[in-house]
Chains A and B, each alone.
Chain A
């Protein structure tokens, strides 16, 4: 019994036809059409040499630093005698500086937690693989980052100075509840300062990458400003001074 070969057309078992159309698949081609020729080198010895050179460089730098500057060691710990100023390690000075500008739960717990959660969420907020592996991704990204950084470098020291000389929690004591002076007002003021560049950006139909560039730059530069202020500009009584003009012979470098 002979079957009509046409009914089998796509699935022919004919020995003359060795290929068949099974399915059409969407996706990128298996040949790398968009890529140039592979530009690779053997990791050995190039990468190994780079690592050895970096180790030597870092080792020498540390050795030189350690030969020239001694690690600080003060008197033995005495719980009955407070140091003035009492400072946290330098990388927590941003936090300690924040404490000067609002309610501790807001400044030392809520805002830092939000920052860490935002940083963790970055790759899930900006989840397009496009533009990876290039500084600032685009020229526009570079401009956005630069403008935001300059703005933060101006706005944050100004906020610290204003809040230091006209502190709402002192000036409004007895006029409004502490809750307003220490939480509501700082949230509104800081919220406006931090979100202003984002609001401006959102008017230009930004990509997700540009949004996280603005927010991260704003938070990162602010953290740097607060850390530097706390470490270099806070002296006895945790008051603001110029680093080279501290009273009582105090030097910020004592606290390294």
Chain B
């Protein structure tokens, strides 16, 4: 077996894919992290304290997972959805009744979206209550708040797209709140909706925000957020004083 693994990982094909051998020794386990674009956000070594489940509850990772689920299901939904007042609703009905697994696809997207908002809020609470915002992690906390607002924006803009009564009136109520801002209120509302009330212009704008601008923003800020976790010395659990036995 080990002979086979050795021959396999020394083959020219493997070597062209990966610049490390089979990761069963410290050197190759380090190289996995440093030579792979998906792994390089991780440190080579992590402290056992930061891996404790009761410390982080895995909420940051779960937020990212829901975001990935949303990206995949969202991309698939885009194949069936046209953001026009005439077609949006019937597209959703068609998706649910005619497209194989269409209802499941939409359900997955909807429930992941709710889960993501919930988990991101819980993640913020976890970071606050463990004091993980303290120096040198102040700026990463600020990025986290930005990500929370982007998450709310992504969910809110997506809420309009089915173009049913629920969507229409939720966005009407939600955007009317913006109009109460004393100086710029009506300007902000008109800017969001592209007109005095929710219509085709609003649907176009919410669609563009929902499938492009906000997800790109989330992807970008999340990358910085995770990168900074590493740069600031991993999870704050590493800074915790030693437990006295």
Q: Which residues of A approach B to under 8 Å, CB–CB?
A: 34-36, 38-48, 50-51, 54-55, 58-59, 62-63, 65-67, 69-79, 81-83, 86-92, 95-96, 99, 104-105, 108-109, 116, 119-120, 122-124, 126-137, 145, 209, 213, 216, 220, 254-256
Contact = CB atoms under 8 A, between A and B. Distances in A.
Given A47-B46, A79-B197, A216 B128 contact: yes
Interface string B8-47: 0000000000000001001001101100000100111111
Given A65-B111, A122-B128, A133-B240, 12 more contacts: A44-B33, A46-B46, A48-B42, A66-B111, A86-B173, A91-B121, A105-B180, A109-B181, A127-B138, A133-B55, A133-B238, A220-B125
A255 B170 contact: yes
B229 interface: no
Interface in B140-167: 141-142, 145, 149, 152, 155-156, 159, 162-167
B106 to A, nearest CB: 5
Nearest to B50: A133
Interface residues of B, number: 90
A65 B110 CA distance: 10
B223 to A, nearest CB: 16
Contacts of A83: 165-166, 169
Given A39-B49, A42-B44, A48 B62 contact: no
A3 to B, nearest CB: 49
B174 A43 contact: no
6 contacts: A51-B61, A62-B115, A99-B177, A123-B134, A133-B238, A133-B240
A79 B156 CA distance: 19
A177 B66 CA distance: 49
B227 interface: no
B172 interface: yes
B165 A75 contact: yes
B156 A92 contact: yes
A145 B48 CA distance: 27
Nearest to A95: B177
A45 B23 contact: yes
Q: Which of A43, A54, A58, A89 has the most CB of B within 10 A?
A: A89
A126 B23 CA distance: 43
B168 interface: yes
B106 A43 contact: no
A122 B241 CA distance: 22
B166 A133 contact: no
A65 B103 CA distance: 12
A82 B128 contact: no
A5 B221 CA distance: 62
B136 A129 contact: yes
A124 B46 contact: no
Given A47-B51, A54-B61, A133-B238, A86 B129 contact: no
A89 B159 contact: yes
